[in-house]
Structure 1
Amino acid sequence: MATVQVDGLEIAYDRVGDGPPVVFLHGAALDAREWQPQLDALADAFTVVAWDEPGAGRSSDIPESFSLADYARCLAAVVESLGLGPAHIAGLSWGGTVALEFYRHHPDLVRTLILADTYAGWKGSLPADEVRARVEGVHRMLAAPPGAFDPTLPGLFACEPPAAYVPLLEAMEAVVRPQTLRTQLLIMADTDQRDLLPTVSVPALLLWGDRDVRSPMAVARQFQDEIPDTRLVVIPGAGHVSNLERPGEFNEAVRDFCHAHS
């Protein structure tokens, strides 16, 4: 584990391998451990990094006023600490929204974008009634008494979670911080990054599970239509957390794309 300090916050990340840097950004209610299959598979050719975003895993808590730009600023410190120049920035779900915001503020640190099962913010990618339903659902989750608090979001997998990763998922869910979820809820419900998509001037890989119900294929098509230089890879039989449900296909697509643009 390595760490960087940003305005009094300690940001932790895992780093393995050697080669062009690929930095993975996890989804909401998860942490760096989400990317274990990618760290294991890609370290033979790349410097693979998975961060614990502020407010998750081994990193410091976040203040209530923490913003999407603050996440981007902390990520910049991680990428700069690698000393390897611009990185392939890969984000899944909430992590993809962070990746886009990172590109907005720090395009010089981005070699490519890898956007998996993600959003241009909920406001920018989902119907208003769906956003309202998600906000209400997270509020109900946060209002549950401590013993009943369950941060598991519906629709993460096409079928049952892969058995090999159930202990890992349970370990991550056990340490989710309600304040982090509350902050992310407010950010996602109010974020619309559609203005950013046409300005992306680096190559972008879109990775989508064909059975993703949280960020359906219509969102992938939105990204494909708006980002100038994109490649869409659809992963059959995968839901929202496609990197765990179909890690072989996911890793192969990342490997080929990063080799092509390194």
Structure 2
Amino acid sequence: MDVVEVDGLRIAYRRAGDGPAVVFVHGGAEDSRGWTPQLDALADEFTVIAWDEPGAGGSADVPAGFALSDYADHLAGLIRALDITPCTLVGLSWGVTVILEVYRRHPAVARSLVLADGYAGWRGSLGPDEADARLAGLRAQPEGSFDPTLPGLFAGPPPADFVPLLEAMSADVRRHSMLTALTAMAQADLTDVLATIQVPTQLIWGALDARSPLSVAHEFERRIPGADLAVIPDCGHVSNLEAPQAFNDVLRGFLHMVRNG
């Protein structure tokens, strides 16, 4: 892994390949390893970069009072430090919320967006009652109990090839950092950002996503000008791991379209 300092925080990231830059933004209780099948597949044509957000993987812990705006500012700072502006931003779940905040605060860093199985914040996409219930459930979990294969993340059993990866990421979750990130997601309502997006946008959703249902995808499609929605059959919330070939095919096709104008 490589490391860069952004506003006094150590940010770790994985980088491979050569070509137009694509930056991957992982979901909650994950780190850059969650994008392994995408980095492996797309490094043949693109510069692929996956960050460890503050508090995850090899990055520094989140400071006290860290907020959604801070995640966005540090991601934009990483992009500028690597001199890859503008680039394509690809996010999953919580990563979509971070990307939307990046677009609100730093639109110039984005050449295009890929938003997968995500939210305009839990409050924005699911409503306050569901957002509060999810956050309360997370806070009630004892230390070290996070289950990366919990029901609702996948349409069926977790993909066997990636169970060791999921378990490794889960073992490295820092409870305080996870709760900081997911509290930010629970409180966020970024629905107003969707209509302001003026770059090419690809939506990718699992047809059986129980965490961010297709109704959220259709709301994104309705609000984001020109957005295209690709639905992966028989797939749940973590679509990039449950159906990596289908996910990568959609992503590569979109990146070709963006590259070719």
Q: TM-score, normalised by structure 2?
A: 0.96
Query: Unpaired runs of 5+ in structure 2?
Result: none
Alignment of 1:178-257 (within 5 A): 178-257=175-254
TM-fit CA distance, 1:132: 2.5
| Matches of 1:75 and 1:150, distance apart in 2 | 25
Decide whether the 8 Å contact of 2:123 with 2:130 is kept in 1.
Answer: no
Alignment of 1:140-159 (within 5 A): 140-141=140-141, 144=142, 146=143, 149-152=145-148, 153-159=150-156
Runs of 4+, deviation exceeding 6 Å: none
Decide whether the 8 Å contact of 1:29 with 1:151 is kept in 2.
Answer: no
Alignment-mate amino acid for residue 41 of structure 1 = A
Decide whether the 8 Å contact of 2:28 with 2:182 is kept in 1.
Answer: no
TM-fit CA distance, 1:168: 0.5
1:11 match: secondary structure: strand
Q: Which residue of 1 aligns with 2:92?
A: 92
Describe the superposition over 1:169-198 as per-residue Cα deviations: whole angstroms up to 9, x where unpaired. Answer: 000000101111221232112100011110
2:192 match: secondary structure: coil
Matched, 1:103 2:103: yes
| Matches of 1:205 and 1:100, distance apart in 2 | 13
Decide whether the 8 Å contact of 2:20 with 2:46 is kept in 1.
Answer: yes
TM-fit CA distance, 1:241: 0.2
Alignment-mate amino acid for residue 109 of structure 2 = L
RMSD: 1.1
1:261 match: secondary structure: helix
Q: Which residue of 1 aligns with 2:56?
A: 56
| Matches of 2:151 and 2:78, distance apart in 1 | 31
Decide whether the 8 Å contact of 1:64 with 1:179 is kept in 2.
Answer: no
TM-fit CA distance, 1:105: 1.1
2:12 match: secondary structure: strand
Describe the superposition over 1:139-191 as per-residue Cα deviations: whole angstroms up to 9, x where unpaired. Answer: 111xx1x4x52253541110011000000000000010111122123211210
| Matches of 2:147 and 2:28, distance apart in 1 | 9
TM-fit CA distance, 1:6: 1.7
Alignment-mate amino acid for residue 106 of structure 1 = H
2:129 match: secondary structure: helix
Q: Which residue of 1 aligns with 2:28?
A: 28
Q: Which residue of 2 aligns with 1:66?
A: 66
Range 61-70 or range 110-119, more displaced = 61-70
Q: Which residue of 2 aligns with 1:9?
A: 9
Q: TM-score, normalised by structure 1?
A: 0.96
Query: Unpaired runs of 5+ in structure 1?
Result: none
TM-fit CA distance, 1:229: 1.8
Decide whether the 8 Å contact of 2:131 with 2:187 is kept in 1.
Answer: no
1:255 match: secondary structure: helix
